[in-house]
């Protein structure tokens, strides 16, 4: 097994079987950024297994998925997921825009 295959299997497994958040099935394929953000917030707020605060856990899972999908992510779906990041920030009162470095 090559390193690429191993890491690919690992990241897919994290998305499927994350112990930190109980994600709704297909959440990252939905077309409504508000619905995606609300689902991630609900999962993060109710999780008893996460180590980070709810906002950070939800945002991390969203960013992880976007990064894992990479070039294979449909352009329109990537745009929806980027909008979901802004919706998530609004739901948690974190303001709009990117977090500064």
pLDDT at 1 over 50: no
Residue 12 domain-assigned? no
Residue 48 domain-assigned? yes
- Mean pLDDT, the chain, as a whole number? 83
Tell me: the pLDDT tens digits for 15-49?
555 556 888 999 999 999 999 999 999 999 998 88
Domain ranges, residue 78 = 29-93
Residue 45 domain-assigned? yes
Residue linked to tokens 């994290």: 14
Residue 62 domain-assigned? yes
Tell me: the pLDDT tens digits for 54-82?
999 999 999 999 998 888 899 999 999 99
Residue 100 domain-assigned? no
Residue linked to tokens 């394929």: 29
Do residues 53 and 20 make contact, with C-beta atoms less than 8 angstroms apart?
no
Number of domains the chain contains: 1
Do residues 100 and 89 make contact, with C-beta atoms less than 8 angstroms apart?
no
Residue 53 domain-assigned? yes
pTM of the model: 0.77
Residue 55 domain-assigned? yes
């Amino acid at each position: 097994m090559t390193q690429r295959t191993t890491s690919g299997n690992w990241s897919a497994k994290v998305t499927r079987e994350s112990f930190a958040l109980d994600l709704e099935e297909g959440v990252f394929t939905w077309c409504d950024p508000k619905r995606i953000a609300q689902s991630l917030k609900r999962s993060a707020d109710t999780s008893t297994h996460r180590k980070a605060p709810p906002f950070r856990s939800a945002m991390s899972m969203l960013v992880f998925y976007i990064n894992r999908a990479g070039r294979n992510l449909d352009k329109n779906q990537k745009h929806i997921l980027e909008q979901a990041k802004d919706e998530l920030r609004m739901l948690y009162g974190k303001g709009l825009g990117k977090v500064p470095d």
